């Protein structure tokens, strides 16, 4: 068999333990438990297929890049048959239907105010907030994962924090 045992062992030891990080990013980006699971599975399969070519470095940043990219391609390729009501992100710019998302978030009284406020943000804000506040990555690492300049990471993070702060103040 072509699958070397040591490669699988290395994958088990270095990549599989990052599953919670991968799943957390996918949950926040997809905002749906089942989509997040499908995306993470695809990301892991992709990571595994290319693991032998991984040149070393930070496995977590590498894996999160794959997860993040899978979230984006997943949204695009499943938009036609998706029943998820987040069509704002599928059919228009990230910013445009923010207020509809706000309204949904406020309706969602089951969840915490912060979780709802985060869900209501456009995806490019959610990803920098998750990568910084939860994963503790540097601006440079986030820039690498999101494929944006460091300056963009800096401004999105500042604006994302500001928006969450305002949203929490409103609900308080």
Partner 1 sequence: MTESLHSTHESLSAYVDGELSPADATSVARHLATCAHCAAEYQIMLDTVSLLRSELERFTAPDVLRARIRGAIATTPTEPMTDSPTLAVAPSTARRSVRSFARPAAWAAALLLAAALGSGVTLLASSGNRGTNTTADQVLASHVRSLMPDHLTDVRSSDQHNVKPWFNGRLDFSPTVPRLEEQGFPLVGGRVDYIGGRPVAAVVYSRRQHLINVFSWPSTDHAEGLTASTANGYNLLHWRAGGTERWVVSDLNAAELRGLITLLQRSDSAGRPLGS
Residues that bind partner 1 (CB under 8 A): 1-5, 7-8, 11-12, 16, 19-20, 22-24, 27-28, 36-38, 40-42, 44-46, 48-55, 62, 65-66, 69-70, 72-73, 76-77, 112, 114-115, 118, 129-130, 132-134, 138-139, 154-155, 157-159, 161-162, 164-165, 168
Query: Toward partner 1, which CB reaches closer, 96 or 140?
Result: 140
Q: How far is the CB of 92 from partner 1 (least distance, A)?
A: 21
Query: Toward partner 1, which CB reaches closer, 44 or 86?
Result: 44
Q: Tell me the two tokens of residue 154.
A: 């800096």
**Is the CB of residue 114 less than 8 Å from the CB of residue 164?**
yes
**Is the CB of residue 43 less than 8 Å from the CB of residue 67?**
yes
* Maximum distance among all Cα pairs of the chain, rounded to whole angstroms: 59
Query: Toward partner 1, which CB reaches closer, 53 or 85?
Result: 53
Backbone angles phi, psi at 107, to 5 degrees: -60, -30
Q: How many CB atoms neighbour CB 60 within 10 A? A: 18
């Amino acid at each position: 068999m072509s699958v070397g045992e040591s490669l699988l062992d290395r994958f088990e030891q270095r990549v599989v333990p990052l599953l919670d990080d991968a799943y957390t990013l996918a949950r926040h980006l997809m905002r749906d438990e089942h989509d997040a699971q499908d995306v993470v599975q695809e990301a892991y399969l992709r990571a595994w297929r290319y693991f032998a070519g991984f040149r070393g470095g930070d496995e977590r940043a590498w894996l999160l890049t794959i997860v993040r990219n899978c979230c984006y391609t997943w949204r695009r390729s499943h938009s036609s048959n998706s029943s998820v009501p987040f069509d704002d992100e599928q059919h228009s710019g990230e910013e445009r239907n923010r207020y509809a998302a706000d309204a949904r978030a406020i309706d969602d009284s089951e969840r915490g105010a912060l979780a709802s406020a985060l869900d209501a943000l456009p995806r490019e804000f959610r990803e920098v907030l998750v990568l910084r506040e939860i994963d503790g990555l540097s601006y440079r690492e986030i820039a690498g994962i999101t494929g944006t300049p460091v300056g963009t990471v800096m401004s999105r993070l500042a604006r994302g924090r500001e928006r969450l702060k305002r949203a929490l103040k409103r609900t308080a």
